[in-house]
């Protein structure tokens, strides 16, 4: 097995062109020198590793899962790297599907768990790789548009973004192969890029978001070479498909580190690229809009830590609330529209502009609009309408949003919002949600109206008898 591992690591004699941070000779850390145990690896991942290995292919756990296992964290998923092509992987697993256009991947499906298997990536110095008929294509700014160039494990390590992600767990002998001193960086708490940071950011601007996310998640500081180019290159995020940025936003703000990520993203001018509608609100940290953003992420982090349910719909409703208010005011002044119509038009405008940057699926944008609409309904609800609101599917989210508004309101709006929040709080304390136990003066029977109705019925009955 050791001989197999050594053959997999053979390199060209000339190491002069190796990227910065890549070791001339990788470090092999034996099983008794690292903390990773097979009992910490999911059973589906082990099945994939062993089947690839027993079929004569190289098979390694790679990247974030190895890093997290070393740090004592529980990985959300387990990624595998191999010298088998996606088509060869599919032949080994009936439960496999091939995905991806930018880089072809194999997904091996075990119920709800998906094991991602990637073929070793190679260099893309030329338009067409000599070993394959696959093409690596870049745009004028250096971003990789297609990257189906396959290579060896050492080339794959050179193509990784951060040194802490260039760690490979070898199922052949249970060792860890460290290509870029990633273990040392984990111990020192420094996040370093493999190769030139500016070049790597241009290849894939999402790496700037990943740098922030890893720094907060792992409690690491960005190396100066990693941090310095970010502010200048932040506008490159505009070239990323909105659907991909939506996935990155979920990773940034729904994993318990939302507030730390928000503050770091603002500092590096990345948040402004993700939410251009909020740029004007970020220059005044003491004002209500900024405080509402901050409180939103703080509340979300608290719910994640307490294992409470969160939804992106609420998050987007809070993030876009102030642009919505600005657009509503503009419509009211220019067209004299009533509040309900102004809100509906403004909501369509604001969401329409935001999805040009971050794609918000309708399963989240529609509930976000409902949360906004319920704010108006909670303000003017009387009588039986109170009952209908209490049983509305989005009432709880709208109520939490009302509390958020009251907590971060401007001095002028704070008292009315607090009073409204107290009203709905007391109402829930005295009401079984879903029952019809709430009555107000408007719900009390009108005896006069009842008698008039009775007379009409008798008159109609008399006429019918005649």
Confidence at residue 23, expressed as pLDDT on a 0 to 100 scale: 81
Confidence at residue 245, expressed as pLDDT on a 0 to 100 scale: 97
Confidence at residue 143, expressed as pLDDT on a 0 to 100 scale: 52
CA distance readout (Å), 431 to 152, 296, 419, 438: 66, 28, 18, 7
The domain 2-195 having CATH identifier 3.40.50.1390: the answer here is no
pLDDT digits (tens, 9 = 90+) for 432-444: 544 333 333 344 4
Number of helical (H) and strand (E) elements in the chain, helices listed first: 22, 12
Contact 86, 119 (CB under 8 A): yes
Measured CA to CA, the distance from residue 373 to residue 370 in angstroms comes to 5
Residue 253: which of 102, 360, 327, 164 has the closest Cα?
Answer: 360
Confidence at residue 433, expressed as pLDDT on a 0 to 100 scale: 47
Place of tokens 């004028």: 140
According to DSSP, the β-strands at 167-170 and 59-62 are antiparallel
Strand partners for 168: 62, 177
Burial category of 322 from C-beta neighbours within 10 Å (exposed 0-12, middle 13-18, buried 19 and up): buried
Read off the pTM.
Answer: 0.82
Measured CA to CA, the distance from residue 458 to residue 247 in angstroms comes to 67
Per-residue pLDDT tens, the chain, 466 aa: give them: 434 344 444 444 444 455 667 888 999 999 999 999 999 999 999 999 999 999 999 999 999 999 999 999 999 899 999 999 999 999 999 999 999 876 789 999 999 999 999 999 987 554 444 444 444 455 555 454 445 688 999 999 998 999 999 999 999 999 999 999 999 999 999 999 999 999 999 999 999 999 999 999 999 999 999 999 999 999 999 999 999 999 999 999 999 999 999 999 999 999 999 999 999 999 999 999 999 999 999 999 999 999 999 999 999 999 999 999 999 999 999 988 999 999 999 999 999 999 999 999 999 999 999 999 999 999 988 888 888 899 999 999 999 999 999 999 999 999 999 999 999 999 888 765 443 333 333 444 444 444 444 444 444 444 444 3
Place of tokens 């709800």: 112
The residues spanned by each domain of the chain are: 2-195, 201-305
Report which DSSP code applies to 433.
Answer: T
Measured CA to CA, the distance from residue 261 to residue 270 in angstroms comes to 10
Measured CA to CA, the distance from residue 96 to residue 109 in angstroms comes to 6
Helix 242-253 with 206-217: angle, nearest 10 deg: 10
Structure tokens at 153: 């494990």
Dihedral sign, CA of 426, 427, 431, 432? negative
Measured CA to CA, the distance from residue 177 to residue 208 in angstroms comes to 26
Structure tokens at 318: 């809070």
Measured CA to CA, the distance from residue 21 to residue 23 in angstroms comes to 6
Phi, psi of 96 (to 5 degrees): -115, 140
Q: Which CATH superfamily is domain 201-305 in?
A: cca-adding enzyme, domain 2 (1.10.3090.10)
* Kind plus residue range of the DSSP H or E element containing 93: none
Contact 178, 4 (CB under 8 A): no
Catalytic residues: 77, 79, 161
pLDDT digits (tens, 9 = 90+) for 173-206: 999 999 999 999 999 999 999 999 999 999 999 9
Rg of the chain's alpha carbons, rounded to an integer? 29
Confidence at residue 453, expressed as pLDDT on a 0 to 100 scale: 46
Q: What angle do CA 42, 45, 47 make, to 5 degrees?
A: 110
């Amino acid at each position: 097995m050791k001989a197999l591992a050594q053959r997999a690591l053979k390199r060209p004699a000339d190491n002069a062109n190796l990227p910065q941070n890549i070791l001339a000779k990788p470090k092999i850390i034996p099983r008794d020198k690292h903390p990773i145990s097979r009992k910490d690896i999911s059973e589906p991942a082990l099945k994939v590793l062993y089947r690839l290995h027993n079929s004569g292919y190289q098979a390694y756990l790679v990247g974030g899962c190895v890093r997290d296992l070393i740090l004592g964290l529980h990985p959300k998923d387990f990624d595998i790297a191999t010298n088998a092509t996606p088509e060869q992987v599919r032949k080994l697993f009936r439960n496999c599907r091939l995905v991806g256009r930018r880089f072809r991947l194999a997904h091996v499906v075990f119920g709800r768990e998906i094991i991602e298997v990637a073929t070793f990536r190679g260099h893309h110095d030329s338009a067409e790789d000599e070993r394959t008929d696959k093409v690596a294509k870049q745009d004028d700014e250096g971003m990789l548009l297609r990257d189906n160039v396959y290579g060896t494990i050492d080339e794959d390590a050179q193509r990784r973004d951060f040194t802490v992600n260039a760690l490979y767990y070898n199922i052949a002998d249970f060792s860890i192969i460290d290509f870029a001193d990633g273990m040392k960086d984990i111990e020192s708490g420094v996040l370093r890029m493999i190769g030139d940071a500016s070049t790597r950011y241009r290849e894939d601007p999402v790496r700037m978001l990943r740098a922030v996310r890893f720094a907060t998640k792992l409690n690491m500081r960005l190396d100066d070479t990693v941090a310095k180019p970010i502010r200048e290159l932040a506008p490159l995020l505009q070239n990323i498909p909105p659907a991909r940025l939506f996935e990155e936003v979920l990773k940034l703000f729904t994993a318990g580190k939302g507030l730390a990520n928000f503050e770091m993203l603002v500092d590096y001018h990345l948040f402004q690229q993700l939410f251009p509608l909020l740029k004007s609100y970020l220059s005044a940290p003491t004002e209500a809009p900024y405080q509402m953003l901050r409180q939103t992420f703080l509340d979300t982090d608290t719910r994640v830590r307490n294992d409470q349910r969160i939804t992106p719909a609420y998050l987007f409703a809070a993030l876009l609330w102030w642009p919505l208010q600005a657009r509503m005011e503009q419509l009211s002044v220019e067209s004299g529209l009533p509040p309900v119509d102004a809100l509906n038009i403004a909501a369509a405008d604001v969401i329409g502009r935001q999805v040009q940057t971050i794609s918000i699926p309708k399963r989240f944008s529609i509930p976000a609009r409902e949360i906004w609409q319920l704010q108006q309904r909670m303000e003017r609800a009387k009588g039986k309408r109170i009952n209908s609101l209490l049983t509305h599917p989005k009432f709880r989210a709208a109520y939490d949003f009302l509390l958020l508004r009251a907590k971060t309101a401007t001095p002028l709006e704070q008292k009315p919002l607090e009073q409204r929040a107290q009203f709905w709080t007391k109402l829930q304390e005295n009401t079984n949600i879903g029952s019809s136990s709430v009555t107000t003066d408007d719900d009390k029977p009108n005896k006069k109206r009842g008698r008039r109705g009775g007379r009409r019925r008798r008159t109609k009955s008399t006429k019918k008898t005649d």
